[in-house]
Amino acid sequence: MHHQVRDAQVVHDSRMAPIILVPGSSATQNRFNSLVTTLNQRTNGHSLLKVTVKTDGTVQTQGRIAPRDVEPYIVIAFENNQDGYNNIKKQARWFDLAFNQLATKYHFNRFNAIGHSNGGLILTLFLAKYYQKSAVTMNKLMTIGTPYNLEESNPHNRTQMLADLIKARKQLPKNLTVYSLAGTQTYDGDGIVPLASVECGKYIFQNQVKHYTQITVSGDDASHSDLPQNQEIEGYIQQYMLAKPNQPGQRIGAGK
């Protein structure tokens, strides 16, 4: 009986396909609170689990995943959330540690991921270096204001990070769908990240993954820090990253 219950739980949990969100530098596990609240208002709601990875690889969690929720939100943030390529590489390793713990605990075998700013770099480095060892499939990746060439506005001046990512692009999953979203508060960027740096994502993903699409948004809330709350981007997330919303009357309780 114990084996039957355990096996049934594994089968049930394997239906889960979480949305994993990774914030950028200096941002905490609370970075996407407003985004998740808005999406839950539009889609009848999903639970939210927030994870912070310590520098020693241990994790602290807040919130919970509701028992019947097959598409929860999981935010993975970092105690050391500072900028810089060396730190981003460390954060990719810490992400891999936390990701493996979550996949083992909740028995999911597929997921979608969203990264804001350097969060998109962390996810890209994860795909290039650690993903091949995982039995879990990333179906879709959305990066928002991600500086693939850091602060460099000239795509011909490739940073070491961009060169490394281009070199490792053969490791990217072939069936992945990628959306790269850029903001334009000014004509050449979102006030922090140059538009040309976001556009360098094409050198990494194009002709390597199943689909690669770059989308540029402008107008209100198109500055770098405002992008996760931009209404147009919220619409793209709902349209491209989420499964069909729950039917009325089937609301899943959202964690806090």
Q: Show me where the domains of the chain are located.
A: 2-240
Render 98-113 in DSSP notation, one character per residue: HHHHHHHHH---EEEE
21 bridge partner residues: 75, 114
Across 74-88, average pLDDT: 96
pLDDT computed for residue 7 by the predictor: 46
Across 192-219, average pLDDT: 95
Give the CB-side neighbour count of residue 31, counting CA atoms within 13 A.
28
Fold annotation for 2-240: Rossmann fold (3.40.50)
Tokens of 104: 């083992």
pLDDT computed for residue 141 by the predictor: 98
Q: pTM value? A: 0.89
Percentage above 70 pLDDT, the chain: 89
pLDDT exceeds cutoff 60 at 236: yes
User: Are residues 88 and 122 in contact, defined by beta-carbon separation less than 8 angstroms?
Assistant: yes
Tokens of 132: 């091949």
User: Are residues 218 and 183 in contact, defined by beta-carbon separation less than 8 angstroms?
Assistant: yes
Q: Per DSSP, which regions of 148-256 are E strands? A: 177-184, 211-218
143 bridge partner residues: 115, 180
From CA 229, how far away is CA 67, in angstroms rounded?
Answer: 28
User: Are residues 153 and 189 in contact, defined by beta-carbon separation less than 8 angstroms?
Assistant: yes
Across 68-79, average pLDDT: 96
Centre a 10 Å sphere on the Cβ of residue 211 and count the other Cβ atoms it contains. Answer: 11
pLDDT exceeds cutoff 50 at 249: no
pLDDT computed for residue 185 by the predictor: 80
pLDDT computed for residue 14 by the predictor: 67
List pLDDT tens digits, range 145-191: 999 999 999 999 999 999 999 999 999 999 999 999 999 987 788 88
pLDDT exceeds cutoff 60 at 246: no
User: Are residues 17 and 70 in contact, defined by beta-carbon separation less than 8 angstroms?
Assistant: yes
Across 62-73, average pLDDT: 95
Cβ-in-10-Å burial (0-12, 13-18, 19+) of 35 comes to buried
* Angle value at C-alpha 121, between 231 and 236, nearest 5 degrees: 20
* Angle value at C-alpha 116, between 25 and 134, nearest 5 degrees: 95
Mean model confidence pLDDT for the chain: 90
pLDDT computed for residue 189 by the predictor: 87
pLDDT computed for residue 36 by the predictor: 96
Measured in degrees and rounded to the nearest 5, phi and psi for residue 141 equal -125, 130
For strands 59-63 and 48-53, give the pairing: antiparallel
pLDDT exceeds cutoff 70 at 255: no
List pLDDT tens digits, range 2-61: 555 454 444 444 689 999 999 999 999 999 999 999 999 988 789 999 999 999 999 999
Across 232-248, average pLDDT: 80
Tokens of 122: 């962390």
